[in-house]
Amino acid sequence: MVKLTAELIQNCQQRINPVKDRELDLRGYKIPVIENMGATLNQFDTIDFSDNDIRKLDNFPLLPRLKGILMSNNRVVRIGDCLPETISNLETLILTNNMIQDLAEIDNLSQLKELKHLSLLFNPISTKEHYRAYVIFRLPQLKVLDFRKIKQKEKDDAKTFFKSKKGKEIRKEIVSNRSTIDDDLDEVEEPTVTNGRGLKVTPARRAPVAGERSAEVNNAIKEAIRNASSLEEVERLQQMLRVGQIPQSNTNEGDGAAAGEEGMDVN
């Protein structure tokens, strides 16, 4: 593991990414803890933490410029409750292939008013009953969840359900069932699920079952490329995929016909 020091932050790769954002590349260092981020001097729109060993999403200083966090393939279990105070302008949060297992963790994102794109694919949470409806209810500001555009009907149905007597009981149960994990996360027991052959695997470290990732993610990728209006845009999308970012569309929320009902909004 590599400690996230000010020196590492200053010496790692910095670039202008395909969507013209200034990006800090902290990918693949096996960093266990987010720290010393004040060394970024609030100079980045996106920070890529993919392929590390981070277990808690927190400990950011005030970074009003930060719009995107890429944190796929870590071991995140907890989401800190101070994010709205420090990274209040966050628009995109990618937590694909982590270890979040409690729906109550979503509540800590509810005050991120600018959050539009969220991915929790391949987390234990995504297999929970009422998962998508609960996330949509708690985060009404979202436009895209797990590469699928959120429809107005989904928002209306989620609000109606969780305002009902049964829905209120489920909300109360979600909060009360939140697992007890020490703040330092030293004793976290990694959740296990079973793959298609009945073998136990750890979600954040498992190899995807054949066809699993391509069936969900690649369909979204194809949709974005299909809606590209120029060769330049297609090349931009392909470059984003190579660096592990989400393809996003040029359409506005109301342009459902152009983007596809489950297409992805794009800046």
Least confident of 62-76, 150-164, 192-206, 244-258: 192-206
Q: Is residue 37 part of a domain?
A: yes
Residue 224 lies in a domain: no
Any domain includes 226: no
- pLDDT at res. 116: 97
Please report, for the chain, how many H helices and E strands are present, in that order: 9, 12
Q: What are phi and psi of 100, to 5 degrees?
A: -70, 125
For residue 47, what pLDDT is reported? 98
Q: Which pLDDT band, with edges at 50, 70 and 90, does 251 fall under?
A: very low
Most confident of 9-13, 198-202, 207-211: 9-13
Is residue 206, in this structure, part of any structural domain at all?
Answer: no
CA torsion angle 235 237 242 243 (round to 10): 120
Report the pLDDT value the prediction gives residue 225, as an integer from 0 to 100: 57
- For residue 197, pLDDT beyond 70: no
Q: Per the domain annotation, does 27 fall within a domain?
A: yes
In a domain, 227, yes or no: no
- At 60-109, the pLDDT tens digits run 999 999 999 999 999 999 999 999 999 999 999 999 999 999 999 999 99
Domain count within the chain: 1
Rounded-to-integer distance, Cα 96 and Cα 177, Å = 23
User: Is residue 162 in some structural domain?
Assistant: yes
Q: Does residue 216 lie in a domain region?
A: no
Report the CATH number that the domain containing residue 87 is assigned in CATH.
3.80.10.10
- Are the C-beta atoms of 123 and 203 separated by less than 8 Å? yes
Could you list the residue range(s) of the whole structural domain that residue 25 is in?
Answer: 6-197
